[in-house]
Amino acid sequence: MTFINYASREINCKIVYYGPGLCGKTTNLQWIYEKTNPNAKGKLISLATETDRTLFFDFLPLELGTVRGFKTRFHLYTVPGQVFYDASRKLILKGVDGVIFVADSQVERMDANVEAIDNLIVNLKSQGYDLLNIPYILQLNKRDLPNVATVDEMRKALSRKTPPEPVIEACAARGTGVFETLKGVAKLVLADLTKTS
């Protein structure tokens, strides 16, 4: 749900990073946090366990600049990936404007990816959204590891949209593809606003 404030001329959009446990959602946010101009970002908040696993969410507010006289802010959230935190994942999807699915490219994580995408579809539905209509990007993360599935195999297993969703290869720990993914989803969200009229 985009929040548009005509009085202070601001648009706020909510982007959620979704994906199986340890796929690199928080790493995406950390990279963005480290590489963004200090004036453009707020604090990175991580509600994590003592072992740095996300417990509730990570949150990073970003101020991107001005579009048509409106200050544009993106609020980036991650969900906890571990299966048993499903209730929290549902809550975080509330009011989402765009979703990035971070898939773990390692062959042995393919089942976890599929399970997480199916879970995303169910949880979006419970908040009244349909994956087919929501701005959505599929990020194939950890492409630098040796035991990865091919891009074609991953598309086949994880693509859920027709026409197919944009797919971006990434290595979040080194920053490859991180900003491309964010920019991709931001474009889709803002393009979605143009359809409002």
Q: Quick one: 47 or 151, whose CB is closer to another protein?
A: 47
Residues in contact with another protein by CB under 8 A are 1-8, 11-12, 14, 42-43, 45, 47, 56-57, 59, 61, 64-65, 67-70, 72, 75, 77, 87-88, 91-92, 94-95, 133, 179, 183, 186-187, 190-197
The C-alpha atoms of residue 63 and residue 15 are separated, in whole angstroms, by: 13
CB of 45 vs another protein, minimal distance in Å:
5
The C-alpha atoms of residue 189 and residue 170 are separated, in whole angstroms, by: 21
**What region does 157 belong to: left with phi over 0, alpha with psi -120 to 50, or beta?**
alpha
For helices 25-35 and 178-194, angle between their N-to-C axes, nearest 10 degrees: 90
CB of 122 vs another protein, minimal distance in Å:
16
Q: Quick one: 68 or 152, whose CB is closer to another protein?
A: 68
CB of 124 vs another protein, minimal distance in Å:
14
Q: Quick one: 15 or 112, whose CB is closer to another protein?
A: 15
Angle at 2 between CA 18 and CA 79, to 5 degrees: 20
